[in-house]
A and B are shown apart, each in its own frame.
Chain A
Amino acid sequence: MPKQQSRQIVVGILANAGGVGKTTLAVHLAYALSKRGCSVALIDLDPQRALDVFCGLPSVEAEDSLVRVLSKDFVGGWPLVRAWNNPNIEVCQGHPVLSQISDDLVIRRRGEYTLADRLQSHPLRHDVVILDCPATLGMICENAIAASTGLLVPIQLEMKSVSGVADLVQWAIAISDDLQLKPRPPILGLVPCLYDNSRAIHRQYLRQLPDVAEQLQIKLYPQIRDSSEFKNASANGLPLQKYRPAHPANRDFEDLAHDLAALARKGKW
């Protein structure tokens, strides 16, 4: 038997609440993975196209965004642009029209599987594909689940985000069931984001999380600290690793990047 070849992994980053750090996680993870020798495609499924800001990219017309990929008459040729002039990180940009496409997918045949079908018939060359999803669970997120080999869930240690994650876990299981995904894309990890050690509620919920994660049978990753430098970096269209290479928060992504790189290489978690 031939040795197991490396296979592409598709990681959907989902959170059932806004502003919890999805795009921050996507961007910094992409950068950390590229440092580990993986090529990464970042796909922006969010009509708010936050990825453009974080990658320092000018916004594009619908024709040059994911809108074209999801449109009925896509014939191949993903619109990809390099991020930070790094040949190993390419971005498929989002566009506000995505919200209309989402409505259109509802009535289209295999609507929930459109993204999965595109990745199947017009494969990307990258080792890792990261899907940055909108905060609202809907048709676009269903597409992300159907296309993903695994999911990552950022969680902010406040009640709104925590509640959102609880619902998200149930929803992901139910959708996988409805879409008859075999195997069901597992939740690869819970990632506490925007962690502020000076806040009592953050400290308290962080202590409670291991128990929750264990019962959900989901791996809990080390928290990513909150820092105003993240905001400064994204204002400059850069990841923190490039903006402040010596910043301690850069190390917060290492465990996760290590596991994903290993998964992409071995095809096993």
Chain B
Amino acid sequence: MANMIKLTINNMPVEVPEGTTILDAAKKLKFKIPTLCNHPDLCVAGNCRICVVEQKGSRTLTASCCTPVAEAMEIQTNSLKVRKARKDIVELLLSEHNMDCTKCYKNCICELQAIAREYISESDRFIDVSIRKPIDKSSPAIQKDDSKCIKCQRCVRTCEELQHVGAFSMAHKGDKANVETFLDLPMNDVVCTNCGQCINRCPTGALTERHYIDEVWEALADPTKHVVVQTAPAVRVALGEALGFEPGHRVTGQMVTALKRMGFDKIFDTNFTADLTIIEEGHELLYRLKAALKDKQKTALPMMTSCSPGWIKYLEHEFPDLIDHLSTCKSPQQMFGAVAKTYYAQKADVNPANMIVVSVMPCTAKKFEAQRKEMNSSGYQDVDYVITTRELALMIQQAGIDFTSLEETTCDSLLGKHSGAAVIFGATGGVMEAALRTAYEVITGREVPFKNLEIMPVRGMDGVKQASIKIEGCLPDWKFLEGAELKLAIAHGLTNARTLMKEVNKGTANFHFIEIMACPGGCLGGGGQPMPTNLEIRKKRMEAIYAEDRDLSIRKSHDNPEIKKIYEEFLKEPLGHKSHELLHTHYTKRQKY
């Protein structure tokens, strides 16, 4: 048991464990102290100073986010001295911040703006000292506007601690201090994985996604274009947060209705190609196992999932020698683009040249992925525009759609049906679970031996999860797997991925299959999701994803009737010729530094 410390905050007594910060002790008494550099996912910085409080007997004010409580401390969180200091600090921050607020993408959802409002700041009291240089729009995913940066360094800590990418650092000092990439190179020329976690934690508009809202509206308004949309599973459990619902509220049906009202010609579902991914990737895994175990061929094992484009780019930079371990399956987004412009185009008799594929993703790295040179197996860029959950929310608002009271509808057929296995792609461990539901059945002819098909050991928020599954009672084709222990590992967040990859590199990890998602919690914590983000919110989204799975009648990818149909009528067989042409890809070694 930790020692308990007694103190008073605003004259109210409180008792908290030793080591608690003043900020958290105040929270316990229901006093909110404003913060900017502080973020629950990150280590303490104590540099913005907005959280200062008055401590009896202290000459200076105390930063509450980084000061632990002490016995008999007497704290005031809202004294005149504190209010004056905070007002000054806000105004100083505003003076180094480009205040084109009404033109800003973060207008009304900006944390600096919210605090400025609380302290009724005179925005022009001080002289403008913001850093003015061209906005970095080199990356298709993330844009960086230094004129809006308030140097809280949340992005630096996110990139370093959560993702171990280190694309940003504070550079220079004093009045030149600035968040920069290596040598201040354009974002697209550095090790950035486009995961967008920095955007999720940027309190201002300094880091935002490159948005493609206008392009999508233009496509929708163009009568010569056939515009289809796909939505990723994690979008439906988070979109509501940006449109008036509590975290964890599922809005699948309303989202479909809203997309119809916005004018998309067809509303499809990335879940359809998630199911397709499972078929392809599951067979690829079995193929690799067969090659390694039965035919004794040199095969890259463990096989690693390839759904998360942030993870892909990370591996290409950080562990280029491991790229053979990646499944050659494209991500569901890219499989969708490829089949939409071929299979669907044929069926619907649409010229793919006139088709626009829009995808709505919880992810910013998908914007980069869609623009990778190799992603054009339909003969066109397979996916034209990628917008984030946040962009979709804004478009729904722009369209004047009263989202909260919207009726629920379902996706269009052909590329719209999906299983629960596809839905759980949105949570860490989901791809693994979905793959097992199918692969186990392919091998044994029986369902995975877990209650309600729910493979609990691969679920949850632990950074690195390990599990194994014993294979017994194999069908004749798979006898070589009889009694084998299939070893699995799952990681989310690139720092955790790195831990795992170091083991793989050393050869100390003898896993068969590894699932990695770049973002904390998996796609549900993606860089394109509504803000704010924290563990509590991510857990609620996760619960919603598993509830969505439970509510579906089809729970296994291979049971999806539209999947059966596409194999019968178009692809013929998993890993077949057409699949290789449309659904599989290759990777590029990139520079690490």
Q: Is chain B found bound to chain A in the same assembly?
A: no
